[in-house]
Amino acid sequence: VAMDSMKAQGGIQMLLTAEKDAQQVISHARNFKMTRLKQAKEEADREVAQYRSNLESEYQNMISETSGSSWSTVKRLDEETEKKINSLKQTSSRVSKDVALLIKHVITVRT
C-alpha cells in the first residue's frame, strides 16, 4: 500500500508540475499575443498615416496643377482679349474717316 501511495504521490506531483508548466506556456502565449497585437496596431496606424499623407500630397498636387492651369488660362485669355481690342481700335481708327465721310453723305440732303 505504501508503494501505491508513493506512486500516487509521484503521479499527483507530476500532474501538478505539468499543470504549472502548462500555465506558464499559456501565460507566455497570452503575453506574446498581446505584444503582437500591439505591434500590429502600431504598424496599421503607421500605414494609415502614410496613406493619408500620400493622399493629401496627391490632393495638394492636383489643386496646384489645376489652379496653375486655371491661372495660365486666365492670363492667356486676357492677353488674347487685349490683342483683339487693340486690333479693333486700329481698324476703327483707319476706317473712322471713311465712316465719317459716309455718314456725311447719307445725312446730307440734296435739294
pLDDT of the residue at 102: 83
CA dist 71 → 31, 64, 68, 76 (Å): 59, 10, 5, 9
pLDDT tier, 11 (very low <50, low <70, confident <90, very high otherwise): confident
User: Which pLDDT band, with edges at 50, 70 and 90, does 33 fall under?
Assistant: very high
Task: Measure the CA–CA gap between 50 and 39, rounded to whole angstroms.
Answer: 16
| pLDDT for position 91 | 86
Mean of pLDDT values over 77-102: 88
22 vs 94: which has the higher pLDDT: 22
**Over the range 62-77, which residues count as b (16 or more CB within 10 Å of their CB) and which as e?**
eeeeeeeeeeeeeeee
Whether pLDDT at 49 is above 90: yes
